[in-house]
Copies of this chain bind each other. A is one copy, B any other.
Amino acid sequence: MKILLANPNTSQSVTDRIAQVARAAASPGTALVAVTGSAGVPYIATRADAAVAGRTTLELMAEHAGGCDAAIVAAFGDPGLGGARELLSIPVIGLAEAAMLTACMLGRRFSIVTFSGTLGPWYRECVDYNGLASRLASIRCLDGPFDDIASVQDEKEDLLVDLCARAVDDDQAEVIILGGAPLAGLSARVAGRVPVPLVDGVAAAVRQAETLAALAPRKASVGSFRRPAAKSIVGVSTALKRLFDHTN
């Protein structure tokens, strides 16, 4: 089985971390292809960043999904997910989506804990978009600045553990998602210090991608997730153009 991890960030360091956590989480026989966006910002943290990333996701998917059994939008917030799900014939899943749906199987209310306050309202839109507001205990974000996106999980580890404790004690969180690709892998390290199950978005997404690929659902041939009819498109990558105009 081969799974595409499409990181619409432009940070190779984030892709590397994602890939490392994904490999640790994947089943023995699963091959991973981790690719990085060439248009956008180093780390998606705003609606504007995500608006740019939507197209980047599609371009990455168009370029690299061939031969894969499932694909992952490897940025929390899942920019471009719906579009990718329309265009591709393989299952596509988002990091936030996978984390939230997995959390729903481990408790009734989940919190999302993350490292930057600017992410809260955007994450909340993502929860709303997935129709899961009634399952959300809280979103809690650290306040201050951080030094380096590549090592923010080390720098903020203790503060994040404290924030998890507040989500459990004050918001009655029964599961906690450590949100944002830069925190990939942290769950495994701090699980002993947080008294409820932790969900790592990357690990959850990889396993869910495997699950969907194994279940092998057919591609919709009608409805809003069927492949759109061929249409011309301009100004995008050749691979994406071909996916749109059915010349691939």
A: residues with CB less than 8 A from B are: 10, 25, 27, 37-42, 45-52, 54-58, 79-80, 82-87, 91, 93, 97-98, 101-102, 104-109, 118, 120-122, 125, 128-135, 168, 172-175, 191-192, 194-200, 203-204, 207-208, 210-212, 214-215, 217-226, 228, 231-236, 240, 244
Contact = CB atoms under 8 A, between A and B. Distances in A.
B132 A131 contact: yes
A215 B232 CA distance: 36
A133 B130 contact: no
B57 A51 contact: yes
Complex copy number for this chain: 6
A198 B211 contact: no
Given A41-B232, A118-B228, 12 more contacts: A41-B233, A48-B87, A50-B83, A51-B57, A52-B240, A107-B223, A125-B129, A128-B129, A191-B217, A197-B219, A198-B217, A203-B215
A104 B106 contact: no
Contacts of A232: 41-42
Q: In this complex, which of A47, A48, A174 has the most chain B Cβ atoms within 10 angstroms of its Cβ?
A: A48
Given A215-B207, A234-B39, A223 B121 contact: yes
Given A104-B101, A131-B132, A133-B134, A195 B211 contact: no
A149 to B, nearest CB: 11
- Nearest 4 CB-CB pairings of A with B: A39-B235, A48-B83, A197-B217, A47-B82
Nearest to A198: B217
B54 A58 contact: no
26 contacts: A25-B215, A39-B55, A39-B234, A40-B234, A41-B231, A41-B244, A45-B228, A46-B224, A47-B83, A47-B85, A48-B244, A49-B83, A49-B228, A55-B55, A85-B107, A97-B105, A101-B105, A108-B224, A118-B228, A168-B222, A172-B224, A174-B223, A175-B217, A192-B218, A197-B219, A204-B215
Q: In this complex, which of A93, A223, A226 has the most chain B Cβ atoms within 10 angstroms of its Cβ?
A: A223
B228 A48 contact: yes
Nearest to A235: B39
B211 A197 contact: no
A168 B192 CA distance: 35
A180 to B, nearest CB: 15
Contact of A48 (B37, B58, B234): B58
